Amino acid sequence: MTLGAFILPSSRSGSVLHHVFVIGGGELVTDRPLACSTRIPDGADAALHDLGSARLDEWTEAADGWRCTVQSLA
């Protein structure tokens, strides 16, 4: 199943940390904050793997952060 991943920077989320979300069919599948030392956007790949997903294409800038297509590892 193909899913979408989004990185919401801390400046947009009102949080201290950047946050990565995995979305499928318009619904939240899973999410987590990124470590303070994470290089954005490519550093989020490890977090995606921990969430059970792998990036299929490049991160692209979006209005509120970055987005890419991911696939479930399960």
pLDDT digits (tens, 9 = 90+) for 38-49: 888 999 999 999
pLDDT digits (tens, 9 = 90+) for 3-53: 999 999 887 767 778 999 999 999 999 999 998 888 889 999 999 999 999
Half-sphere exposure at residue 29, Cβ-oriented, CA atoms within 13 angstroms: 21
Asked whether the beta carbons of 52 and 30 are under 8 A apart, the reply is yes
Q: What is the model's pLDDT at position 67?
A: 96
The per-type count for the chain, helices as H runs and strands as E runs, is 2, 6
In this model, does residue 72 exceed pLDDT 80? yes
Higher pLDDT, residue 6 or 2: 6
* This prediction's pTM: 0.86
Domain boundaries, the chain: 2-72
Backbone angles phi, psi at 67, to 5 degrees: -145, 155
